[in-house]
Structure 1
Amino acid sequence: MTRMITTFFYVGLLRPAPGTWGSAAAVVLGLVLHGLGSFPLLLVATALVTWLGFWAVGKELADRPTEDPSEIVIDEVAGQWIALLAPSFGFWMMGLDTWNFPYPGWVGAFLLFRLFDIWKPWLVGRADRRHDPVGVMLDDIWAGIFAGIGTMLLAGIAHGVLM
């Protein structure tokens, strides 16, 4: 069961770039979750997948605690959903129809998350250098937080300055 969770139903076995496949699958499912229950459902799902990720990664890497296998993508799912929470919250606060998740919001969250996950600046890199199961999850959580903030900053520029 931990293998299914850590690979996010085996999406992590796709090649090349399993992290990008995991993030893409997370965006698709995140958009569906937002459509079904808006921000509150996405928030609960994000908390659940993050908790499950910490548990499953810890179990999966118990015998090899310093590894970060590329097929483990539950961390990308958690981080990507954290990034999606920012625009989801904005749309929810505006009272938009739950199936209304305009493409710049999710595209920005996806691109910024991948940027921070690959680039690993500051706290993202520090978490990645832990070389333990917590670090596997934590670097993507930080990348998701930074991507969510960046997505909202870009939305503010696009809707405030450019309009």
Structure 2
Amino acid sequence: MNWAIATVLGAGHLRPASGTWASAIAVGLAVAAYQAGLAWLVPVGFVLATVAGFWAVPGYLRTSVDQDPSEVVIDEFAGQWLALSFTVIPLWRHGVEDMLFAAWPAWVAPFLLFRLFDVWKPWVIGRADRMGGATGVMLDDLWAGLFAGVGSMALAGVYHGVVEPWLR
């Protein structure tokens, strides 16, 4: 069970860049849920993935030589869904029906920003990563997800508040 959760059913073994693959799968599932009218699954999925990750990763790490193995991607999955929650919830509340094509920046921006923050690891993200152990594995991606979500909202605010009115 620890393996299935920690590697997101084996997605962590996809190469190269297992974290990017996991993030892309999380985005695809989130967009599919949204398109199916189940947008609420994204923030609920974030909570469930986070809880499951904090439960499964310690057990997985006990069997691993590496303390942050690349195949452990539940942290990317949870962080990506946190980032997407920042755009999914407002779209849903505003009645936007098509996230895939009509509101594509709502999934592209969180994906790109999350990957940027996860790789770059500025400030508290890097500190969390250096903690090591299951807490460090999970926490750096949750911070990256928070930064990506806030960054996505900031970009949306600039576009809708400054650029879009100027284009009219």
Question: TM tier, shorter chain?
Answer: over 0.9
Residue of structure 2 in register with 1:139 after alignment: 140
What's the counterpart of residue 160 of structure 1? 161
Contact map agreement 2:7 2:73 (CA 8 A) in 1: yes
- 1:65 and 1:143, CA in 2 relative to 1: closer, same or farther beyond 3 A? farther
Deviation, structure 1 residue 44:
1.2
1:29 and 2:29 aligned? yes
Runs of 4 or more above 4 Å deviation = 63-66
* Match of residue 81 from structure 1: 81
Alpha-carbon displacement from aligned partner over 1:91-110 (angstroms, at most 9, x marks no partner) = 0121222x435111100000
- C-alpha RMSD of the superposition: 1.5
Tell me the TM-score normalised to structure 2 length: 0.91
CA distance in 2, matches of 1:134, 1:75: 10
Structure 1 residue identity aligned to 2:151:
G
Query: Any stretches of 5+ residues in structure 1 without a counterpart?
Result: none
Q: CA deviation at 1:16?
A: 0.7
**Which has the higher mean CA deviation after the structures are superposed, 57-66 or 133-142?**
57-66
1:37, distance to aligned residue in structure 2 (A): 4.3
The structure with more radius of gyration: 2
Contact 1:12–1:19 (8 Å) recurs in 2: yes
1:84-95 superposed matches below 5 A: 84-95=84-95
Alpha-carbon offset, residue 78 of structure 1: 0.2
Q: Distance in 2 between matches of 1:134 and 1:35?
A: 33
Q: 1:123 to 1:66 in 2, by over 3 A?
A: farther
Q: 1:65 to 1:58 in 2, by over 3 A?
A: farther
Instruction: Return the letter of the residue paired with 2:119.
Output: I
Letter matched to residue 59 of structure 1: G
Structure 2: segments with no counterpart, 5+ residues? none
